[in-house]
Structure 1
Amino acid sequence: MEIENLRDLIARPHVVLWDFDGPICRLFAGHAADRVADDLVNWLEGRGLHGLLTESERKSLDPHIVLRAVDRRHPGSDLVDELEERLTQEELRATSSAMPTAYADPLIRTWQAVGSRLAIATNNSPRVVRTYLESRGLTSCFAPHIYGRTQQLNHLKPDPHCLNRALSAMGSAPSDALMIGDTPSDLLAADAAGVPFLGYARNERKEKLLRDAGATAIVPSLKPVLELLRSGPQA
């Protein structure tokens, strides 16, 4: 996107809401998410629950799709609780090999240094987010504003629940915030909450998905955001 448009977008927010897996790190860089999804499917099938999932859900390679599908059919059940805990444990294991997104750490610290308040709004477990942030020395940049997956799985993005929780806790109007995300569900959640959106697309496939969903402000790297923030509003 054009630098002036990007400058205008990042100059406004008093509160910056970050998705976690993507803009901050690649959580499953060394611990493949598709294998995690397969493991969840196999765990269900080992308990005679093959019929809980449709063929497309079984082949989705997305653990959150598997989790949400089971929750839709057995909301609030012990089965869902156990499946969610299995996913959380896989996410926790993945933090040890997660790959930091280029320029994310300095951008987070710089945004905090210039006076913006930061929060995380994610479909990942908040336990996982805290573990990763502690490993990078970033906890103080966000705490206590980490809003992740709860037992109410119908509140996962694209539902705006975690964004609304962050805005309410931080006393921010949606128009005074900015959401940084890398998936259509991030965009849809931001739109539903009334929060401006900046898409991060590390490859052409991610960019196409965001554009097809209606995103207009997209960057392939966080570097220009960091450079603009460091240059100040008048540069």
Structure 2
Amino acid sequence: MAAETENLRELITRARFVLFDFDGPICRLFAGHKAEVIAEGQVRWLEERGLHGLLTEGEREHPDPHEVLRAVDRRHTGSDLVAELEERLTQQELRAVDSAWPTAYADPLIRTWLAVGSRLAITTNNSPRAVRSYLATRGLEACFTPHIYGRTQDLHLLKPHPHCLNRALSAMGAEAEASLMIGDTPSDFQAAEQAGVPFLGYARNARKEKLLRASGAEHVVNSLELILNLLRAHA
């Protein structure tokens, strides 16, 4: 336990650039506006347009609206259909901001990391419009602006592709080894690995931790409080 804490301390204190995933480490975006309900709405919207056969049965039942969007994009890359479906998802994410739950200790962690001189960015598969809207409700937008890198209509560049991480590193003039990504999914870990960025997993429950560990993530915490305490002790 002591060795793991020391490893975490080194990982955290050497990070001059910190890349946060959004939904998970910063908030639970869909806490009050469920992602599976949004996914069901996407499927209905496609069916109403006579596109029932566009998705497989597994894709129609998938609880993640991002996966439904990806499935349509694989078959109609760059089409007006994909653009409209992406905008509908963005509108649902903006609606979800009103009922999002802040992740415990996220706000003070962000402010503390900024106060000790690190530069911060958000690298997410969510819409950057939804990210900015949420950050504004918490008074945190200035902590990240202009370094918010989210979903574009080039859906093949969503994580696990490292595109948004590479954009952040390039814009901040950051070296990958002097950076740290905090994420809560295997795709976050895979994107960080491809970008050469050290990774710290955040798992709010045992299922999330199991998935992260299985993907290869070595460092995983169940609360951001530990990170905050280590950072404050070093300040």
Q: Same fold per TM (> 0.5)?
A: yes
- Sequence identity (%): 73
Give, in whole Å, the separation in 2 of the partners of 1:48 and 1:94: 28
Match of 1:98 among 97, 100, 103: 100
Cα displacement (A) at 1:228: 0.6
Cα displacement (A) at 1:173: 1.1
Over the residues paired in the alignment, what is the CA RMSD in angstroms?
0.8
SS at match of 1:102: coil
User: Which residue identity is paired with 1:177?
Assistant: S
Match of 1:151 among 138, 153, 162: 153
- 1:171 aligned partner: 173
Cα displacement (A) at 1:5: 1.0
User: Which residue identity is paired with 1:111?
Assistant: W
CA deviation digits over 1:97-146, x for unaligned, max 9?
00000000000000000000000000000000000000000011000000
SS at match of 2:94: helix
Match of 1:87 among 86, 89, 93: 89
Give, in whole Å, the separation in 2 of the partners of 1:97 and 1:24: 14
- 2:25 aligned partner: 23
**Gaps in structure 2 of 5+ consecutive residues:** none
- 1:139 aligned partner: 141
Residue correspondence of structure 1 range 174-213 to structure 2 within 5 A = 174-213=176-215
**Gaps in structure 1 of 5+ consecutive residues:** none
- 1:160 aligned partner: 162
SS at match of 1:37: helix
SS at match of 1:185: helix
User: Which residue identity is paired with 2:198?
Assistant: P
SS at match of 2:74: helix
TM-score (ref. length: structure 1): 0.98
Give, in whole Å, the separation in 2 of the partners of 1:132 and 1:124: 12
Cα displacement (A) at 1:52: 1.1
Structure 1 residue 7 and structure 2 residue 3: aligned? Answer: no
Residue correspondence of structure 1 range 32-43 to structure 2 within 5 A = 32-43=34-45
Give, in whole Å, the separation in 2 of the partners of 1:145 and 1:200: 21
Match of 2:72 among 70, 73, 87: 70
